[in-house]
Homo-oligomer: A and B are copies of this chain.
Amino acid sequence: MTDRRTEILTGAARVIARQGVRGLRVADLAAEAGVSTSLIYYHFKDRAGILRHALAFIGDRADRYTAAEAEAERGAEAAGGPSGPRQLLERTLLLEFQDLPEVRENSTAWGELRAHSVFDPELREELAAAGTAWAAEVAGRLAELCPAAPPGAVTAAAERLTALLEGLSVRWLSGLLPLTHARNLVREAIGVEASRLGSPLDVN
Q: How many chain copies?
A: 2
Residue of B nearest to A20 (CB): B119
Instruction: Known A20-B22, A22-B22, A127-B176; judge A115-B170 contact (CB<8 A).
Output: yes
CB within 8 Å of B: which of A146-180? 156-157, 159-160, 162-168, 170-171, 173-176
Which of B20, B166, B192 meets A167, CB within 8 Å? B166
Residue of B nearest to A173 (CB): B118
CB of A163, distance to nearest CB on chain B (Å)? 4
Size bracket of the A interface? 35 or more
Which of B108, B118, B163, B173 meets A164, CB within 8 Å? B163
- 19 A–B contact pairs at CB < 8 A? A19-B119, A20-B22, A20-B118, A108-B118, A111-B118, A112-B118, A114-B170, A117-B174, A118-B170, A128-B176, A156-B184, A156-B188, A160-B164, A160-B192, A162-B167, A163-B171, A163-B185, A165-B167, A196-B196
